[in-house]
Amino acid sequence: MPRIAPLEPPYAPEVHEQFERIMGPGADPLVLFRVVAKDKRAWSKFRAASLLDGGPLSLREREIVIDRTCALTGCEYEWGVHVAFFAEKAGLTDEQVKATTAGGTGCFSAAEQALIGAVDALHFRMRWSDEEYRSLAAHYTEAQIFEILLLCGRYRTVSYIVNALDLPLDPRGARFPNGRP
């Protein structure tokens, strides 16, 4: 059981409408959403920073950033939800999905390798070296670089919430290959 109990149906009409907009009509909302939605202000801020609005990165690039960030933070819940819902749509192979948890970038393009290197540098050092930035900038625009930074920060925050509140794994989600990365 999560440390903060999730909302249970029936949901307030406004919250129900928001869940349906995010998940699709009739789909059960994620436990993460149900927990955060208990606090009106937190839920409002959480939704405002979603970054799933078709920004300057492709779906594939976005999912590589999210999957790698969640794997590095040990957030199997969010990694698994994104893999289950988006990996196939993003064109990620099983080998590439596994590589988001295990490192190793040989199965990715040069641009994607720069992307993963940028995510790793932010996670481990909270900054990029000049060389890492040049590598990233060789493939991505300034708008895309801002999106990468925002995604890394956003999903690190999501990982904090999920891991700190000990949310149970979503039954629809994938599981880390070979246990924790």
CATH code where residue 125 lies: 1.20.1290.10
- The DSSP result for 161-181, as a single string, is HHHHTTPPPPTTS---TTS--
Distance CA 56, CA 143 (A): 7
pTM for the model stands at 0.93
92, pLDDT greater than 90 = yes
Residue 181 pLDDT greater than 90, yes or no: no
Q: Name the token pair of 94.
A: 């099983």
On the question of pLDDT at 130 being above 80, the answer is yes
Number of domains the chain contains:
2
The mean pLDDT value of the chain amounts to 95
Average pLDDT over residues 88-106: 94
- The pLDDT-based confidence of 70 (bands split at 50, 70, 90) is very high
User: In terms of domains, do 86 and 63 share one?
Assistant: yes
Q: Residue-wise over 146-178: b if at least 16 C-beta within 10 A, else e?
A: ebbeebbebbbebbebbbebebeebeebbebee
Contact, 65 vs 144, CB < 8 A? no
Residues 27 and 101 in one domain: no
* pLDDT beyond 80 at 179: no
Whether the predicted pLDDT of 170 surpasses 80: yes
Domain that holds residue 44: 13-48
Using 50, 70 and 90 to split pLDDT, how confident is the model at 149?
Answer: very high
Q: Given pLDDT bands bounded at 50, 70 and 90, which one contains residue 122? A: very high
Q: Report residue 30's pLDDT band, with 50, 70 and 90 as the boundaries.
A: very high
pLDDT reading at 26 higher than 90: yes
The residue-averaged pLDDT of 14-20 equals: 96
Q: Based on the domain organization, do 34 and 105 belong to the same domain?
A: no
How confident is the model at residue 51, as a pLDDT? 76
Phi-psi region of 73 (alpha: psi -120 to 50; beta: other; left: phi over 0): alpha
Which tokens hold the place of 114?
């720069």
Do 17 and 90 belong to one domain?
A: no
Quick one: average pLDDT of 117-146? 98
Half-sphere exposure of 76 (CA within 13 A, CB side): 15
pLDDT over 80 at 52, yes or no: no
